[in-house]
Structure 1
Amino acid sequence: MTRSLVLYDNFTRSLRPFEPLRPDGEVGLYTCGPTVYDDQHIGNYRTFLFEDILKRVLRWNGHRVKHVMNVTDVGHLVGDGDDGEDKLVKGARRAGRSAWEIADHFTRAFVRDLELLRIEKADILCRATDHIAEQIAFIVALEARGFTYRTSDGIYFDTSKLPSYGELARLDTAGLDAGRRVAMGDKHAATDFALWKFSPEAGARREMEWESPWGIGFPGWHIECSAMAQKYLGDFFDIHCGGEDHIPVHHTNEIAQTEARVGTRLANFWLHGYFLVHAPEDPHDETRKMSKSTEDFLRVALLVERGYDLHAYRYFCFTGHYRTQLSFSWQALDAAKAAFVRLQSGFASLEHDRATPPDASSMDGFESAINADLNMPRALAVAWDVLRGSLPSAVKRATLARFDDVLGFDLSSPVSCIEETVPPPIRALADERLHARSRGDYAQADALRTKLREAGWTMEDRPGGYRLRRC
């Protein structure tokens, strides 16, 4: 017997049954997106993968999803506080390009990585710089309600005016020493945060700055999400997601802004994906958070360069629950790669009959797993039980194909990588040859087979697809 979807809400610190707020069943989902001053590392993509699974599971349960994701292209300062240089401006100077060019370049790179990882793009991907008017209007409303004050460097939110401040993170605001989280300057309290920052004096003007009721400047980091979420999803919507590092500052401040303006906590559920960390080489050492500031900054492109099918990384992320930190090592990724290839090749060997329905009992087990707060390790175990079990071959295939709506492994693709993971350029050549052969262009198909052979691969034609082997 199946069960309803249950999610862990960090605001209440509890597992709660999920029901959409809207009577038509549409789910409003807001997820914190990238700060586009550089590529994202594979730890960032672990969070985006968890959010992709959440969206797929919501659809599995019959809900339509309106997914909004922000792109931070202004206001996110080095150190994540209220002082220091904007990360975009710093990245632009390092690259010798404008901040606008950097933002556009890394936004496109982000979307390209999403496609490689089979992470579905948000319905609305909104840039902070396209919503300056909404952010100014939000600050004006907070000012009218008495929640702001002016300092020498900007307009700040006065957390002392909001007794519930810090509820999401269970912050001991009285115990926070000045400057412990952020630099004080002439702020009233350590927890107060910038809504609008003033630009430097003339002659040192920034690339990204706008006129406002308080003078020329730029928005703080937190105001963008409150303003854009409200614009596209309303004052109170279903689910807000992000990384675990957003809990104590960014999401805490989002909630404060929205509660001060409209009296809601912005979202009914607050879900957070936990870090991908570096496994220590020495078992006595501690794990390290993955970061862009370290020499071992791991990009998606590096996985591709090393010959990994990115489905293997997706599989690896599913071996841990999203609410637990996951240790990354190349050995762990190799194990996930091997497991994925076995799953993919096992699926390819199954009998295909379009009229065969999936197994009801296995479907129930899989749904129970994904509906138990997105328990992907258990969902993978159910998939393996199906593949290794005694069900008829066509029933296994139909069942696993249905699971793949959530897993996102593209198991029904004609490509069957039997011997080892195929690099994307080789896969593209093989797919092109398959299409040429299917339309009867045998001369082109032969030419592409020759290219594959020159690259060190042989291609065997099979019913509905092909098999690739290294020469």
Structure 2
Amino acid sequence: MTTIKLHNTKTRKREVLTPIDPQNVRMYVCGPTVYDRAHLGNARPVIVFDVLNRVLRHVYGDDHVTYVRNFTDVDDKINARAADSGRDIGQITEETVAWFLEDMAAVGALQPDHMPRATSYIAEMVAMIEDLIAKGHAYEAEGHVLFAVESYRDYGKLSGRSVDDMIAGARVEVAPFKRNPMDFVLWKPSDAETPGWDSPWGRGRPGWHIECSAMADALLGRDFDIHGGGNDLMFPHHENEIAQSVCAHPGHGFARIWVHNEMLQVEGRKMSKSLGNFFTVRDLLDQGVPGEVIRFVMLSTHYRKPMDWTEKKRDEAEKTLRKWYALAITEDAGRPDDLLMELLSDDLNTAGAIAHLHRLAGAGDAAALRAGLQLLGLMGGLIPEWAAQKAFDLTDYEAFLSDARVTAIETKDFTHVDRIKKMLMDAGVEVQMSRDGVVLTPTPAFDAGKLEAL
């Protein structure tokens, strides 16, 4: 069986994945807070962990992997959106969940086995909070329940933060009823206008961190194999998940391996509305950028490195996929070859896997190329409409233009070459001429009928 190695954030080293139960490999990934469209950065962890999910299923079998990704549907951002818009909270969350699933499907993500919503697990959260209070790890104060960070000696081990760093990070939530500025909220009171549930501490709602602990426990058990998410969640969210879960269930370790992806940039800068480089996945899709192109660009960078989205990368990705799809559609997919599996099993080296697919395409190995594309979540079935133009063979036209160019160089008359080039461009063909020869690539505007005159 293939050996999968993953970089474990908690131990700071690459470790062999040894499932607790090989018949049920379990992974939990933190999902979105549903109040708006998913921006491009939100898509990166979805795509990264979708590939990991596919690799796990390839190695252990579809029926032996359980993948959970949650929806946070109770949150102050959602409450604020409802107040600003005058819309019902339930309408906002239902709409946003539907948007998210539609957009993530467009970038090739399979739906997880379970997609729990926080509001469906309030009872489990209340029970866990009660247990933490009983064990001396949490306390009630002015209608709030807070986790006592000092009661868990390993707090900060995941993120590697010092006490001073953590206190600085906690200062925004410092309240006079906190025993320690690092203590975090497990439950907070709700007024008449805010969603709330009955509890032993009065009507209120859960803090953010407790939901993932409760849902992971309910769906995966007290020990499971992999916990994933963006590295922006490492502190405080994941740090707090560990603390409350381990303290609620002594003798259990919660997640064995923690996997975090790096953040996304746009043209070398942090994505920001103030910089004018902020856009959603839907913005790109509506602009005509195929979801598979978004996915390809994301996977071209290793998940633990910052990913820089650029127009150049987008353009190159689309050209590459057009060529690969035209080759791969001619063959049925075989099994992914050993080298591809070795690359993906080595800390999910998608960048190396794509480089390997370039080699397969160059060697004309259509079956292996198609198998590799499908394992990466690309080209699931028939050649997509946006890439169908590449099925038109331009080899003869390349040879025709190349011969004309040789003659033009000899006669120093490029009139004929310019005329051919213009006709090709009018037909929606990109023309590239260099010392190495002529390369013709259909664009989305390609019209084969306009080539008849040639």
Within-5 A mapping of 1:376-415 = 376-389=350-363, 396-410=365-379, 412-415=381-384
| Alignment-mate amino acid for residue 45 of structure 2 | T
Asked if residue 185 in structure 1 is aligned to residue 175 in structure 2, the reply is yes
Question: Is 2:245–2:254's contact at 8 Å kept on the other side of the alignment?
Answer: yes
Q: Tell whether the 8 Å contact from 1:40 to 1:292 is kept in structure 2 after alignment.
A: no
* Counterpart check, 1:107 vs 2:107: no
230-239 or 329-338, which deviates more: 329-338
Please report how far the alpha carbon of residue 99 of structure 1 lies from its aligned counterpart in structure 2 after TM superposition.
Answer: 1.3
Q: Deviations over 1:213-255 (max 9, x none)?
A: 0011100000000000000000000111111111111000000
User: What per-residue deviation string (whole Å, max 9, x for no partner) do you get for residues 408-462 of structure 1?
Assistant: 11164144625479xxxxxxxxxxxxxxxxxxxxxxxxxxxxxxxxxx99xxxxx
C-alpha distance in 1, partners of 2:261/2:248? Answer: 27
The amino acid that maps onto 1:405 is: Q
Residue 170 of structure 1, CA deviation = 1.1
What is the distance in 2 between the residues matched to 1:5 and 1:368?
Answer: 8
Corresponding position: 1:368 with 2:332: no
- Picking from 33, 39, 45, the partner of 1:35 is 33
Q: Which residue of 1 aligns with 2:405?
A: none
- Counterpart in the other structure of 1:443: none
CA distance 1:241–1:406, change in 2 (3 Å): same
Contact 1:74 1:129 in 2 (8 A): yes
Equivalent residue in structure 1 for 2:290, among 305, 309, 319: 309
Alignment counterpart, residue 240 of structure 1, candidates 227, 244, 251: 227
The question of whether the paired residues in 2 share the 8 Å contact of 1:178 and 1:184 is answered with: no
Higher-helix-fraction structure: 2
| Local SS of the residue matching 1:90 | helix
CA drift of 1:403 comes to: 1.4
| Amino acid in the other structure paired with 2:60 | G
Q: Which range moves more in the overlay, 380-389 or 57-66? A: 57-66
Once the two structures are superposed, the pairs formed by residues 65-464 of structure 1 within 5 Å of their partners are 65-75=65-75, 86-152=76-142, 154-174=144-164, 176-177=166-167, 181-186=171-176, 187-200=178-191, 205-263=192-250, 264-280=252-268, 287-288=269-270, 290=271, 296-348=277-329, 350=330, 352=331, 363-389=337-363, 396-410=365-379, 412-415=381-384, 417-419=387-389
TM superposition shift of 1:407? 1.2
- Are the structure 2 counterparts of residues 164 and 357 from structure 1 closer, same or farther at C-alpha, using a change threshold of 3 Å? closer
Shift of 1:347: 2.0
Q: In the alignment, is the contact (CA less than 8 A) between 1:401 and 1:412 conserved in 2? A: no
Q: What SS does structure 2 have at the residue aligned with 1:182?
A: helix
Equivalent in the alignment of 1:447? none
Determine the C-alpha separation between the residues in 2 that align with 1:21 and 1:292.
Answer: 43
Tell me the amino acid that sits aligned with residue 410 of structure 1.
Answer: M
Call closer, same or farther: CA 1:370–1:179 in 2, change over 3 Å: closer
Q: Which residue of 1 aligns with 2:3?
A: 4
Separation of aligned partners in 2, 1:12 and 1:198: 37
- C-alpha deviation, 1:399, in angstroms: 1.3
RMSD: 2.4
Task: Return the alpha-carbon distance in structure 2 between the equivalents of residues 110 and 386 of structure 1.
Answer: 34
Paired residue for 2:43?
Answer: 45
**Which AA in structure 2 matches 1:266?**
F
CA distance in 2, matches of 1:207, 1:258: 27
The Cα of 1:304 is off from its aligned counterpart by: 1.6
Q: Deviations over 1:181-230 (max 9, x none)?
A: 43211212222100000123xxxx23410110001110000000000000
The Cα of 1:55 is off from its aligned counterpart by 0.4
Q: Secondary structure at the match of 1:327?
A: strand
**Alignment-mate amino acid for residue 278 of structure 1:** V
Return the offset for 1:265. Answer: 3.3
Cα deviation, residue 357, structure 1: 5.3
Aligned residue for 1:125, secondary structure, equals coil
> What is the rounded CA distance, in whole Å, between the counterparts of 2:120 and 2:84 in structure 1?
24
> By how many angstroms is 1:279 displaced?
2.3
Query: SS where residue 249 of structure 1 aligns?
Result: helix
Q: Give ranges in structure 2 of 5+ residues lacking alignment.
A: 392-426, 429-442, 448-454
Once residues 326 and 315 of structure 1 are traced to their aligned partners in structure 2, the CA distance between those partners, rounded to angstroms, is 12
Q: What is the CA–CA distance in structure 1 between the aligned matches of 2:311 and 2:320, rounded to whole Å?
A: 14
Separation of aligned partners in 2, 1:178 and 1:17: 35
CA distance in 1, matches of 2:257, 2:162: 22
Alignment partners' CA distance in 2, 1:8 and 1:208: 39
Which amino acid counterpart does residue 265 of structure 1 have in structure 2? Answer: G
- Return the letter of the residue paired with 1:364: D
CA shift for structure 1 position 113: 1.0
- Relative to 1, partners in 2 of residues 1:469 and 1:329: Cα closer, same or farther, differing over 3 Å? closer
Identity of aligned residues (%): 32
| Count of residue pairs brought into register by the alignment | 393
Larger Rg: 2
1:306 Cα deviation after fit: 1.5
CA shift in 2, pair 1:407/1:48, >3 Å: same
Pair 214,411 (structure 1): closer, same or farther in 2 beyond 3 Å:
closer
Per mean C-alpha deviation after superposition, the further-off stretch among 35-44 and 94-103 is: 94-103
Contact residue 325 and residue 383 of structure 2 kept, 8 A? no
